[in-house]
Structure 1
Amino acid sequence: MSDSLERDALKEILTASIKEQRAARRWGIFFKVLTFGYLGLVMALMLGWIGAHESESASSGPHVGVVDLSGPIAADGDASSQLVIAGLKAAFEDKNTKAVILRANSPGGSPVQSGMMYDEIKRLKAKHSNTPFYVVVEDVCASGCYYAAVAGEKIFADKASIVGSIGVLMDGFGFTGAMDKLGVERRLITAGANKGFLDPFSPQSEEQKQKATAMLQEVHQQFINVVKEGRGKRLAADNPDLFSGLVWSGESGLKLGLVDALGSVDSVARDVVKVDNIVDFTPQPSYADRLARQLGVAAATTLGAKLEWQLR
């Protein structure tokens, strides 16, 4: 009798142990699946497979398409010509878009990126001649941003906005004095008389300085020509500071012909276009796109010196 009780008790213990092990395995599988599912969701969000920004569809009815030009203009940034142009194309091509607004809030940046925006805006305007294109300045539209903005049929700004900075600069540092104090010797060997152009660790060459100045003047003249082309007779011709790199408030810019009127995105849509519905066509790059641009685009530098238009 006792042997039978012992066998039954042992059987119950073994059965309970097996059930416990099976339950533990099931919970283990559940948590693994849950963990991998969570990681997969995070990865999909990071790569932009889900949750990607899409502008409202054409079924939203008549609307004003808005594209942001925000932040420093650079090939690897959110204000790259690639992203801004993609947004403008989508806005112009939407059949319900009654006007396109470039919402500008940038201190400037790459002259190349700015020029690409300007050229593409002109092409899109010619292709979609029945769709007005306006620029609305928020806090600042300076230098390279203003370069792109002058492609607009009209430029609107707030009375306190900052506009202008029609100039070019090349900046860098010279370390020769510090190197002398530290007893550091610069050993630079080049094949080509100007291969070490503006090397920050070598004494500045007057000849190279003159060449750099000539290059800046050339790009500056390109900037001036674009502004004159875009603004035409609206510019105040008697102001010698207009192309000096100075900036002005929106109120002063209105007097100088840098802007056409005071206004905001809402007021332009409501009072100029006569359409209250506003659709944002600004592309939102995924994490993968941002990472690819950062890894794939090298900064345009020449031994520590860089060419850019920006508010200073």
Structure 2
Amino acid sequence: MSVTDKLASRIPGLADRVDRSDVVAVVKLHGVLTPSPSPLARGAINLAAVESALTRAFDHDRLKAVALLINSPGGAPTQSGLVAERIRQLADRKGVPVLAFAEDVAASGGYWLACAADEIFAHRTSMVGSIGVISGGFGFSGLLERFGVERRLHTAGANKSRLDPFSPEKPEDVEWLGKMHSQLHELFVSWVRERRGDRLSGSEDLFSGDVWLGQKALELGLVDGIGNLREVLEDRYPGAEISIAEPKRPLLAKLGLSAPAAASAMLDAVSQRAVWSRFGL
């Protein structure tokens, strides 16, 4: 029971004047999925950052539903799984439906999050899907040779230095990475099939890593409808109070600072920007 409800129950006549409308809680999940968010980046999603917002959202006494407002190009698969599992845990405990709304993009890990919902909606211009796995990096071995720098790397364990960016790439390392990608892809596909079930079409391209606009995503069964948060909630829950819960923001974002605090923070921001840029955003 909320503080307002407790007061209302104790003061005669007040209960009749207190707003008893239903509540739909909205959680904003905006940014790249990463375990270590940058203070300069364009938002980040991980379990530590969204836990308090999710808990608040599901804690309303008159809760009718929880809406996830998703704008994410993906990122770390583990954080995708952890956040999605927490959403399902809270939803099952509370016994309320969860609706997901894709904004600009709900792709890769962003779509993994959307699948935690019972229903998914997209705008006709939203980019949805990208059910696949990707990783990238740089190779600096030639750069070291050019400047006469000798790389000294000492390990115990034959595979400890796999994919070291300062050493020449080895075919066996690439093969190992490919197997890891395949295993993660299988887990992603399994999660989507579990959550979407027979709503999915039989298209061969469904799990190719491709991305589609809202209407095509609807035809493929990746989403359940075309619409935005306000219109869908007003239709489903007329008169309900909309309560927005936002995850914690990095300190520099709260202060409105845009200058780099450190070189590492700037690199993190550039890395996350590159993830957005794959979708032209």
Partners of 1:115 and 1:136 in 2: CA distance = 18
Cα offsets for 1:12-67 (capped at 9, x unmatched): xxxxxxxxxxxxxxxxxxxxxxxxxxxxxxxxxxxxxxxxxxxx977763221100
Q: 1:271 Cα deviation (Å)?
A: 0.9
Aligned twin of 1:80: 46
Check whether the contact 2:50–2:248 (CA below 8 A) recurs between aligned residues. no
In structure 2, list runs of 5 or more residues that go unmatched.
6-17, 38-43, 256-263, 266-274
User: C-alpha displacement at 1:277, in angstroms?
Assistant: 2.6
Pairing partner for 1:139 from 104, 120, 132:
104
- Equivalent position amino acid for 1:255 in 2: E
Instruction: Flag structure 1 segments of 5+ consecutive residues without an equivalent.
Output: 1-55, 292-297, 300-308
Could you tell me which residue of structure 2 aligns to residue 211 of structure 1? Answer: 176
**CA distance 1:100–1:213, shift in 2 (3 Å):** same
Pick closer, same or farther for the CA change 1:70–1:222 going to 2, 3 Å: same
1:274 to partner: Cα distance: 2.8
Aligned identity (percent) is 41
Aligned counterpart, 1:248:
212
Contact 1:111–1:144 (Cα < 8 Å) also in 2: yes
C-alpha separation in 2, matches of 1:206 and 1:90: 49
* Superposition deviation, residue 179 in structure 1: 3.1
Q: 1:175 aligns to what? A: 140
CA contact (8 A) 1:105 1:141 kept: yes
Q: Please state how far the C-alpha of 1:189 moved relative to its aligned partner.
A: 2.1
Q: Which moved more, 1:173-182 or 1:195-204?
A: 173-182
| The structure with more radius of gyration | 1
For residue 180 of structure 1, report the CA deviation from its aligned partner: 3.4
Aligned to 1:69: 29
Write out aligned runs for 1:116-265 (5 A).
116-129=82-95, 131-237=96-202, 239-265=203-229
Give the TM-score taking structure 2 as reference length: 0.78
Residues 218, 87 of structure 1: alpha-carbon distance in 2 compared, 3 angstrom cutoff: same
Q: Deviations over 1:274-295 (max 9, x none)?
A: 344311022444739999xxxx
* Shift in CA distance, 275/228, structure 1 to aligned 2, threshold 3 Å: farther
CA contact 1:108–1:311 (8 Å) conserved in 2: no
**TM-score normalised per structure 1:** 0.70
- The 2-side partners of 1:288 and 1:158 are apart by 31
Q: Which residue pairs with 2:245 in the alignment?
A: 281
The answer on whether the counterparts of 1:64 and 1:98 sit within 8 Å (CA) in structure 2 is yes
1:36-75 matches, within 5 Å, as 61-75=21-35
Give, in whole Å, the separation in 2 of the partners of 1:84 and 1:273. 25
Between 1:181-190 and 1:106-115, the stretch displaced more is 181-190
**How far 1:194 moved relative to its partner?**
1.1
Residue in 2 that maps onto 1:96: 62
Query: What CA deviation, in whole Å up to 9, does each residue of 1:59-91 have, x standing for no partner?
Result: 763221100000111233342222323222222
Equivalent residues of 1:71, 1:105 under 8 A apart: yes
**Stretch moving more, 150-159 or 205-214:** 205-214
* Distance in 2 separating the partners of 1:184 and 1:92: 55
Work out the CA distance in 1 between the residues paired with 2:36 and 2:141: 32
How many pairs does the alignment contain?
243
Structure 2 match to 1:105: 71
Change (3 A) 1:215 1:286: closer
Within 2, Cα distance between the matches of 1:99 and 1:275? 13
| CA distance, structure 2, for counterparts of residue 57 and residue 220 of structure 1 | 47
Which contiguous aligned blocks of 4+ residues in structure 1 show a shift greater than 6 angstroms? 56-59, 288-291
Please state which structure has a larger fraction of its residues in helix: 1
